[in-house]
Amino acid sequence: MANKRNTFLLIWVITAVGCLYGFLKYASPKIFQMLMAKDHPMPTPSTLMMWYMIMGVLAGLVYATTSNQKFIDFLSFLLPGHGPFIKSFLQKILFVGFPLLVGWFVYTWAIPGAASPVELRIQHPTLPQDFEKLENPFRQADADTQRKCIEEGKILFQTYCRPCHGSKADGNGPFANSFRLRPINFQDPGTIATVVDNYLFWRIKEGGPGLPSESTPWDSAMPSWKDDLKDDDVWKIIMGEYDTAGVMPRQREKLE
């Protein structure tokens, strides 16, 4: 016959699903806050949460049906029987709890809420044609000139870009927290290391307002520098920026 522990299988499955919910809702935001080094918790997105919960419930059911014996134990919990007091107590809780849970679901769906909207955007739009043909005039220069350009670029970077992108080009400048679209972290291997330096020239010259609409130009705090910086200075900034971030621009594919 079933051993005693198994007769509470239903409760264990419910507890496990409850623990999963608690983990996703409360523990995971804290863990990701620590892992991603953020100053705020990282809440689990609600759709992701829904899928995890569905998977959790299914996993519980799969476990409960791995053998006939288990399945019987699983369902038998709901049958009246002469178990310990705790069993009939938990039965009552389940009996009242299930309709309440359904009611709560309906309530949270039906009340008018003001969740912040999903604001999807394309981070790396395509480089416009006009900028594709440009060449950094200093890339072919001799080593001394290049070193000088990098140094000049770094000075300009520290003056004009540092307030948002930070002294280390890590997107942690003093203003970084104040813009909802955070300044880009150039040390991140997924950012400037994946593009050719023309791309940066385009971004610096045109800034947020020059983005296509799928990249939400209205939210970007990247200024357009075309009226304030000369082309040569922009190229120097790009060289200084790569140097500060410690990454290299993507090399162009050579066409044979």
Partner 1 sequence: MFRTYRREVPQKLAETPEAVVAGKKVYEKRCWYCHGIEGKGDGPAAVTMFPKPRNFTRNEYKVRSTAFGSVPTDEDLFRIITSGIEGTAMPFWSTISETERWQVLYYVKTFNEQFKKDAPPKVIPVGSVPSTPESIQRGQELFKEMKCYECHGEDGRGNGPLTVALQTEWNLPYRARDLSKGWNFKGGNTIEDIYRTISTGFNETPMGSYLEKLSDEDRWHVAHYVKSLAKDMASDVVVKVKLFEGEELPSEPLDENWSNASAVEIPLAGQILVSPRHWAPTIDAIQVRALYNSNEIAFLLEWDDATNRQEEIFRDAVSLQFPTKIPESLKKPYFAMGDSSGSVNLWSWKAYWQEGFGAVVEAPENEQGVVSELNAKGFKNVTVQPPESQNVTGKGIYQKGRWKAVLKRTLNTEDVKGDIQFEIGKLIPVAFAVWDGSNSDVNGQKSVSSWYYVSLEKPVPKTVFVYVLIALIMGASVEMWFIARLRRFPPKLEEQQE
DSSP code of residue 160: I
Q: How many CA atoms lie within 13 A of 247 on its CB side?
A: 22
For partner 1, which stretch binds (CB under 8 A), given 10-18, 23-31, 56-64, 177-185? 177-185
- CA pseudo-torsion sign 224, 225, 227, 230: negative
Q: Would you say 57 and 15 are in contact if contact means Cβ atoms under 8 Å apart?
A: no
Phi and psi at 212, nearest 5°, equal: -70, 160
For residue 79, state whether it binds partner 1 (rule: CB under 8 A).
Answer: yes
Among 164, 200, 238, 247, which residue sits at the site for partner 1 (rule: CB under 8 A)? 164
Closest distance between partner 1 and the C-beta of residue 19, in Å?
23
For residue 35, state whether it binds partner 1 (rule: CB under 8 A).
Answer: no
Neighbours of 24 (CB within 10 A): 18
For residue 254, state whether it binds partner 1 (rule: CB under 8 A).
Answer: no
For residue 114, state whether it binds partner 1 (rule: CB under 8 A).
Answer: yes
For residue 143, state whether it binds partner 1 (rule: CB under 8 A).
Answer: no
For residue 31, state whether it binds partner 1 (rule: CB under 8 A).
Answer: no
DSSP code of residue 223: P
Radius of gyration, CA atoms only, the chain? 29
Closest distance between partner 1 and the C-beta of residue 120, in Å?
8
For residue 95, state whether it binds partner 1 (rule: CB under 8 A).
Answer: yes
Please tell me the total number of residues recorded for the chain in this structure. Answer: 256
Among 4, 133, 180, 254, which residue sits at the site for partner 1 (rule: CB under 8 A)? 180
Closest distance between partner 1 and the C-beta of residue 57, in Å?
16
For residue 144, state whether it binds partner 1 (rule: CB under 8 A).
Answer: no
For residue 200, state whether it binds partner 1 (rule: CB under 8 A).
Answer: no
b/e map 230-253, b = 16+ CB within 10 Å: eeebbbbbbbbbbbbbebebeeee
Q: Footprint of partner 1 on this chain (CB under 8 A)?
A: 37-39, 68-69, 71-72, 75-76, 78-80, 95, 98-103, 105-107, 110-112, 114-117, 119-120, 154-155, 158-160, 162-164, 166-168, 170, 172-181, 207-209, 213, 216-219, 221, 223-224, 227-228
